[in-house]
Chains A and B, each alone.
Chain A
């Protein structure tokens, strides 16, 4: 039974991943991305990582993809990539490199995947605690400093995102070519 679920999830995951990189329309790519992310969540459930699966669905498959769709539709870029390759045979080279990378990974893994000591940080099963409790207690005890650091990272990302996306005369002057109408007279603003 678990094998059937795994192979179904693996199939949808790979089909979705191929769809992301082959779909002509970015909106279709985003939909294929949802397919892959949901399959990853199924795999998390199979592996007993309940909290990771829930967060995967809530954050990744919903919030991140909606952000993608929002930007695609905001910019109206849902058309073909009509840019010429700057490198000769870029597609061929990229595909070859990726296939070689996959072959290397699989060959190396076929002999021996990395091994390590068991239960260094904490076991997955501790006296009747569920997966969520164990993850939470580890996160807020052993990794509490890293957890606080990620909050700083998120604040920085929010400030950076707002600053970049806001319509401003000072942002990205490097990219400014011929839009003098964007320059606002500061004395006008004060009125």
Chain B
């Protein structure tokens, strides 16, 4: 029983789709961030699996760039969460829809909603 590239790719596909489900189901922005990390990790695993399969080092280099982007994303995203929570006391993206409301006000010509 040998483990082929296909095994890793199937595993990565499954984890990616679990992350996708998490982003769309959960209401807590922090858990949504974690689901995005799951998806990024699945992509990383695919890169490393292909790096091994095609005997090419570029796949492992790309993993580092994805890591850097993920770290930056977490830093900025969590800072945003802290700033939003400080103002609104809420962490669910469903409840933070100021920008959407502004568009709706313009459409229906209601001057003051809040």
A-B CB pair tally, cutoff 8 Å = 252
Interface code A156-171, partner B: CB below 8 Å = 1, 0 otherwise?
1110111111010001
For the complex, give the distance between the alpha carbons of A17 and B37 in Å: 10
Chain B neighbourhood of A167, CB < 8 A: 86
Number of A residues, CB within 8 Å of B: 92
List 20 A-B pairs, Cβ < 8 Å. Answer: A13-B15, A21-B25, A37-B41, A40-B45, A47-B49, A59-B67, A67-B75, A71-B82, A83-B94, A95-B21, A98-B21, A101-B20, A119-B56, A150-B68, A150-B69, A153-B69, A157-B72, A158-B75, A161-B75, A177-B114
Interface code B31-58, partner A: CB below 8 Å = 1, 0 otherwise?
1011101100100110011111011111
Quick one: given A3-B2, A86-B94, A102-B13, are A81 and B55 in contact (CB under 8 Å)? no
Chain A neighbourhood of B105, CB < 8 A: none
Residues of A within 8 A of B (CB): 2-3, 6, 10, 13-14, 17-18, 20-21, 26, 29-30, 33, 36-37, 40, 43-44, 46-49, 51-52, 55-56, 59-60, 63-64, 67-68, 71-72, 74-75, 77, 81, 83, 86, 90-91, 93-95, 97-99, 101-102, 105-106, 109, 113, 116-125, 131, 134-135, 138-139, 143, 146, 150, 153-154, 156-158, 160-165, 167, 171-172, 174-177, 179
